[in-house]
Chains A and B, each alone.
Chain A
Amino acid sequence: MGWTNEQQHRLLMEKQILSKYFPQFRWIDPAGKAKVEGVFHTNAGNSYKIRVYVPSDFPNSTPDMVVISPDPLLDYDRNDLSDEDTNPDMHIVGVKDGYIKICHYHPGSWQPSITLYKVLFKGRIWVEAFDAHLKTGKKLDKYLHHWVNN
């Protein structure tokens, strides 16, 4: 994949922001099929490894974000969440490369000004809500409300 000069400039800015706020995240194959991976440690002490796929037309389309560990990701009832394609109650939008794809920004509302940092921030909140689900059995939509188009 060849990034345009404009994209390279943008990705450099993204890297600088992430190194400040999420320094544990690393860039994978930045000149090819770029991804960002790192581990979130929740307040309860659980760890979730997250991957964000940087689309080839970045920042013009919504990046996918998946949970790559724990694998499999089991819910309160010990069901493998990747067995279902989508699960709106759990804010899961599908499966990619065998990993569950988690909700963040609505593709129809995506703006090029939205940074990977903000996408990952939603991931950080998602894993905190997932911890709450594991403790209470309540679905994630009891903690995170659904996107409303304005």
Chain B
Amino acid sequence: MPNSNENAVQTHLRDLRKHVEKGKSVPEQQLIFDPSTGQLALARTESRPLDPDTVVADQIAEEGFFS
């Protein structure tokens, strides 16, 4: 069951940033976006998305943000 707890999602973003900086992939969990709720959530990496419209957000976050 995806975890949409705000603290867990924000911690994942912080950890993802650290992992990208070190050139590592993030294990176990990935950030997903459920368009039906508009919420970001965490799901186990090996689990299949619950809904075919669910989008993996990690890749977009990993690209970085230009500033």
Using a CB–CB distance below 8 Å, which chain A residues touch chain B? 20-24, 40-44, 86-88, 91-93, 103-107, 109, 118, 121-122, 124-126, 128-129, 131-132, 135, 141-148
Whether, in the assembled complex, B45 has its beta carbon less than 8 Å from a beta carbon of chain A, the answer is: no
Specify which chain A residues have a CB less than 8 angstroms from the CB of B41 in the assembled complex.
Answer: 43
Point out the residues of chain B lying under 8 angstroms from A148, CB to CB: 64
Report the separation of the CA atoms of residues A103 and B63 in the bound assembly, to the nearest whole angstrom.
12
3 tightest CB-CB pairs across the interface, nearest first?
A106-B66, A132-B10, A147-B64
Tell me the residues in window 1-28 of chain B with beta carbons closer than 8 Å to chain A beta carbons.
4-6, 9-10, 13-14, 17, 20-21
Per the bound structure, the CA–CA distance linking A118 and B65 in Å amounts to 12
Interface size of B by Cβ–Cβ distance < 8 Å? 26
State whether A145 and B21 are in contact (beta carbons under 8 Å apart), knowing that A91-B67, A121-B55, A125-B13 are contacts in the complex. yes
Q: Which residues of B contact A42 (CB under 8 A)?
A: 6
A106 to B66, CA, bound (A): 5
Indicate with 1 or 0, residue by residue over B22-52, a CB within 8 angstroms of chain A CB atoms.
0000000000010100111100000000000
- Find out whether the CB atom of B55 lies under 8 angstroms from the CB atom of A129: no
**Across-interface contacts of B53 in A (CB, < 8 A):** 20-21
Judge whether A43 and B61 touch: CB under 8 Å: no
Q: In the complex, which of the residues A23, A126, A131 contacts B65, with contact meaning CB atoms closer than 8 Å?
A: A126
A66 to B53, alpha carbons, bound, how many Å? 26
Q: Which residues of A contact B55 (CB under 8 A)?
A: 21, 121
Q: CA of A127 to CA of B55 in the docked complex: distance in angstroms?
A: 17
Q: Which of A40, A118, A142 contacts B14 (CB 8 A)?
A: A142
* Minimal Cβ-Cβ distance residue in A for B19: A145
* Contacting residues, chain B, for A128 (C-beta < 8 A): 6, 9-10, 13, 40
